[in-house]
Amino acid sequence: MKEKEILDSLKKIVSPYVQRKEGLENFNEETDFIKDLEVNSANLVDVILDVEDEFDIEIDNDSMNGMMTVGDAKNIIERKLASA
């Protein structure tokens, strides 16, 4: 899967949880889920579940803890897809 496709799906997945919509306008690998998008920290687990469903992968707790930015998420998804 191409990087852009992953980023596009991530943007779609995270959108409902975003409280700072301006953050979506400049959505890139540096975008921080909590700082830039103001996703409620409790909702991060919901983002993870939606990502799992979309890409048919499983993201363990350790991987989740390192997922601060869109780039982190993309890397985890690529890694999981490669090992699947």
Partner 1 sequence: MKKRVVVTGMGVVAPNAVGLANFEDAIRNGESGIRFEEELKDLNFSCQIAGKPQISEEKIAEYFTPLQLRGLNSSGIVYGVIAGTDAWKDAGLKIEENEQPDWDSGIIFGTGILGVDKFREAIHLIDAGKTRRLGSTSVMQTMASGISAYLGGKLGCGNQVTTNSSACTTGTEALLMGFERIAAGKAKRMLVGSCSDHGPYIWGGFDAMRILPSKYNANPTEASRPMSASAAGFVPGSGAGALVLEDYETAKARGAKIYCEVLGGAANSGGQRGGGSMTAANSEAVIRCIKDAIQFSGISAEEIDVINGHLTATTRDTTEIENWKTALKNDDFPYINSLKGMTGHCLAASGSIECVASVLQIDKNFIFGNTNCEDLNPEISALISEEKVPRKTLEKPVNILAKSSFGFGDVNAVVIFKKI
Residues that bind partner 1 (CB under 8 A): 16-17, 42-43, 45-46, 49
The C-alpha atoms of residue 55 and residue 16 are separated, in whole angstroms, by 18
**Cβ 45 to partner 1, closest distance in Å?**
5
Q: How buried is 74 (Cβ within 10 angstroms: 0-12 exposed, 13-18 middle, 19+ buried)?
A: middle
**Cβ 3 to partner 1, closest distance in Å?**
27
Identify which of residues 20 and 28 has a Cβ nearer to partner 1 in the complex.
20
Can you give the C-alpha Rg of the chain in angstroms? Answer: 12
Identify which of residues 34 and 49 has a Cβ nearer to partner 1 in the complex.
49
Identify which of residues 1 and 49 has a Cβ nearer to partner 1 in the complex.
49
